[in-house]
Structure 1
Amino acid sequence: MGDSNPYKDSVGNATVSLPIVAVLAYGNQSYYTPESDYESMMEVAFFLNKYYLWVVFAIGFPGNLSTIITIIRMRSLGSFTLYVVILAVMDNLAITLKLLIYQILQKKVNIGTSGCRTFQFFGNFMVSYANWVLVIMAVERLLAVKYPLKIQKLMNCKRSVLALSIVGSVIAGIYLPILWTAYFNEIQQTCCFDTSSAWLLSFLQWANVSMSAFIPFSVLTVCNLLIVRVIKESFRVRNALRSMQQTVGLKHKTSFYKYDVSVQRQVTIMLFTTTLVFVVLMFPLCAFKVADSRWKVEPLSNEYAAKYLVYQLSYMLCDSTHAVNFYLYFLSARKFRSHFLAMSSCATPTRAASL
């Protein structure tokens, strides 16, 4: 059995230290006998490594494209819908670029050092930025739940664009060292990193896994817990405001308020569902990264094969976060679902709505 170079893991995901396949690490595989289930588990891992990105692309690309078209046709671009569109665009770019570089390197195409640096930089940037757009959405939604009467003043499209720009600039700055440390290894026909500066390489590895996985996972977990905690209090405030409006006889405002509460509730459910699924799918990668250095395995052992299989499964789930959002929106947001179905059937929605 030959080695399988995990090219896609170098673009858009953190570098995870797995033991090299024994034929490379020990030079002569004939001295070692694989354990009983080693080959079968490795075959499964190699199969996932080779094909799962195609499945992610086939599910995620049309879904994200449908999200973009649906939101644009709703003709109501608030801060939340702006985030949804940007997230869908970045998800599509991330999975497309990742699949592209995987195919290029698998076919041994010489893309040169400039090509490696370009793919590495933008691949890592897009994955991390997509996850951080979701973080910004969750933080804003937490503020909306906690301070429902002030959110319109706190956040608008201009401030949302500013927040997106600042976060994007920070992420791009963190990944800038890639532009002078990555290079194309013509012997191995793959992208590598200059190891002469160990501290810089270590920084890039930890910055990558932190920006793309650990920090978004932690922030979204906290945001979800806080949203659950304060949502009842938020709804009590809204109900009190509605009662006050009814007392003074503002029937038309009460009607609008009911509609606004309905929309805000759908937005909260929609985002909570999306971030919860993100946390669930990202957890295996975070757990694997924490356990990686302590999980010692022997070459050609069943445990070695099991670790490599877990490694592939964790990245498969991680990459799936770029493919599932449309389907979560469709299931959790009635307004989004009605607009998409109306668009699909060439009908016109009876009432314009905002997410």
Structure 2
Amino acid sequence: MAKRRRRVSTEQCSPGIAKNTMSTNTTDFTTDALTIDEKRFFPESTFILWWEKVFLTILVVIFGMIGNLLSFTLLSRRRFRNSAAAFYMRALSLSDAGVIIGLVGNHTMRMYQVQMHSAIYCKTIYFLIKWLMAVSDWILGAMCLERSIAISLPLKSKRFLKPRNNRIALGCILAMLAVYYAYTFEAYGATQGVCRTVSMSYPVVIRTMVDYALVLLPMFLIISSNIVIIISVIRAARHQHTLTGSSSESSASSSTQMSLIAMLITISIAFVVLKSPHFLVKAFLPESLTKQIGYQFTSRMRAIYRLMIGIFTANGYINHAVNFYLYMLSGREYRKELKTLVKSVCKRQTDQAAPNTASSTLPNNGAD
């Protein structure tokens, strides 16, 4: 920082000493008073402001909620209803929708500086965000693990890969993560209208290590399970020409399963690409840089760091909003089911409108 240089008279410094000289002596010295750096906007600040306030809080919320609700509806239909992968995907759609609701409840209000004075509201929102984000990660990890076992060991896996066991696994995921993230009810609260940390009684170092483990473990399951799935599918494709006499029903079932596998691999890749950079940056950058807030900074380098953190954080939320659109790109049977749903809705509306039109065109046989 710049140091301000001053010339101070000895007379001012020692007012009680008699003046023995005709002239005033002066001495030079430097002070350690620091100049105050002014915060201002940089081009990176303007971009992240637009990115968070427009793209994240409007487009992600709107299209994410629509996509997750459509995914749950389509995966609940008869074509996918009995599939284990579809069961986990339905749960994933609901947890992703909950994350987006949490985004509206807290992060959107922080971005738009909406005052919140309810402590229980802050605690609940933080709990829902952290809990449901972890639930989504572990649901995807459990789904990948289940599919890898089912595909690589098709005969042996039938003994324990049952719908009841899938529901038990989902229940354990929900319960264990809820117990861990209950610390948010003690750690967070409202301070001057802003939701923030109010208690540090829970060891921050331990909490950080556990939080990272709860992301890295499902990520490891997702990556390793998808490798097993891809290898098993390639091996099955090489031996497909030896299979004969398959019925149309088994062919349709196989097509549905392959479509679900393609969807699973696609959202797994998206998970790794969108979520891992945020945790890598937080691990390597100093904590003082990763926790910067606002959009005005004292230097352009700090604005660049804030831009990186803002984009990577937003990408983590985007991961909970894009599954429906990734399903559309990768799942042929999923697209067919969506077309069937749209046609059935349009036909139902047409059938409901037809009686009303017919009744309005009937001749009036009454007296004039």
Fold match by TM threshold 0.5: yes
Residue from 186, 190, 195 that aligns with 2:195: 190
Q: 2:302 aligns with which of 301, 304, 313?
A: 304
Q: Which residue of 2 aligns with 1:73?
A: 77
C-alpha deviation, 1:164, in angstroms:
0.5
The residue aligned with 1:124 is 130
- Aligned pairs for 1:1-355 (under 5 A) are 31-32=36-37, 39-51=42-54, 52-74=56-78, 76-105=81-110, 106-112=113-119, 114-185=120-191, 187=192, 189-195=194-200, 197=201, 200-211=203-214, 213-236=215-238, 242=243, 246=244, 251=245, 254-293=247-286, 300-346=298-344
Structure 1 residue 177 displacement after superposition: 1.8
The superposition leaves residues 29-84 of structure 1 with CA deviations (integer Å, 9 ceiling, x where unpaired) of: 9632679xx62212222332323122111111101111111122336333222111
Instruction: Flag the 1:346–1:154 CA change in 2: closer, same or farther, 3 A.
Output: same
Deviation digits for residues 81-126 of structure 1 (CA, Å, limit 9, x no counterpart): 21111111111111012212234453102112x2222121122101
Q: Answer yes or no: is the 8 Å Cα contact 1:147–1:234 preserved in 2.
A: no
Indicate the SS of the match to 1:73: coil
- Alignment partners' CA distance in 1, 2:229 and 2:42: 46
Aligned partner of 2:44: which letter? M
Q: Percent identity?
A: 20
One-letter amino acid matched to 2:118: I
Q: CA deviation at 1:149?
A: 3.1
> Given the two structures, how large is their TM-score scaled by the length of structure 2?
0.74
Q: For residue 260 of structure 1, report the CA deviation from its aligned partner.
A: 3.4
**Larger helix proportion of the pair:** 1
Q: Count residues with an aligned counterpart.
A: 306
Distance in 2, matches of 1:296 and 1:334, equals 44
Quick one: distance in 2 between partners of 1:264 and 1:53?
Answer: 35
When residues 228 and 79 of structure 1 are mapped into structure 2, their CA distance, relative to the original with a 3 A threshold, is: closer
Give the Cα separation in 2 of the matches to 1:29 and 1:77. Answer: 68
Q: Rg bigger for which structure? A: 2
Could you tell me whether the CA contact under 8 Å between 1:175 and 1:204 is conserved in 2?
no
**CA-CA distance at 1:254 after TM superposition:** 4.4
C-alpha displacement at 1:341, in angstroms?
1.0
- Paired letter, 1:336: Y
Higher strand share: 2
Q: Can you give the 5+ residue segments of structure 1 that lack an aligned partner in the other structure?
A: 1-27, 349-355
CA displacement, residues 174-228 of structure 1 (integer Å, 9 cap, x when unaligned): 212222222222x353332312x3x5233333333432x3333333222222323
Q: Distance in 1 between matches of 2:183 and 2:116?
A: 24
Q: 2:289 and 2:188 mapped to 1: Cα distance?
A: 28
Distance 2:49 2:95 in 1: 27
Alpha-carbon distance between aligned partners in 1 of 2:224 and 2:279, rounded to the nearest angstrom:
15
Higher relative contact order (CA 8 A, sep 6+): 1
Structure 2 unpaired stretches of 5+: 1-32, 347-368
Q: CA deviation at 1:232?
A: 2.1
What is the distance in 2 between the residues matched to 1:315 and 1:259? 40
Alpha-carbon distance in structure 2 between the residues aligned to 1:308 and 1:217: 25
Q: Report SS of the residue matched to 1:346.
A: helix
Q: What amino acid does structure 2 have at the position aligned with 1:271?
A: L
1:238 Cα deviation (Å)?
Answer: 6.0
**Paired residue type of 1:284:** P
Hey, what's the Cα distance between the residues in 1 that align with 2:86 and 2:117? 40
TM-score, scaled relative to structure 1: 0.77
Contact (CA 8 Å) 2:88, 2:139: kept in 1 or not?
A: yes
SS of the residue 1:142 aligns to: helix
Greater Cα offset, 283-292 or 55-64: 283-292
For 1:194, what is the secondary structure of its paired residue? coil
What RMSD, in angstroms, separates the aligned Cα atoms of the two structures? Answer: 2.9
Distance 2:324 2:162 in 1: 24
> Structure 1 276/163 Cα, relative in aligned 2: closer, same or farther at 3 Å?
same
Kindly tell me: are residues 193 and 222 of structure 1, through their superposed partners in 2, closer, same or farther at Cα, counting changes over 3 Å?
farther
Q: Is the 8 A contact 2:98 2:128 kept in 1?
A: no
Change (3 A) 1:261 1:235: farther
- Structure 1 residues 34 and 117, CA gap change in structure 2 (3 angstroms): closer
> Contact conserved, 1:61 with 1:323, CA < 8 A, in 2?
yes
Is the alpha carbon distance of 1:230 and 1:77 closer, same or farther for their aligned partners in structure 2, counting shifts above 3 Å? closer
C-alpha contact (below 8 Å) 2:123/2:184 kept by paired residues: yes
Secondary structure of the 1:74 match is coil
**Structure 1 position 144, deviation (Å):** 2.2
1:115 and 1:294 mapped to 2: Cα distance?
27
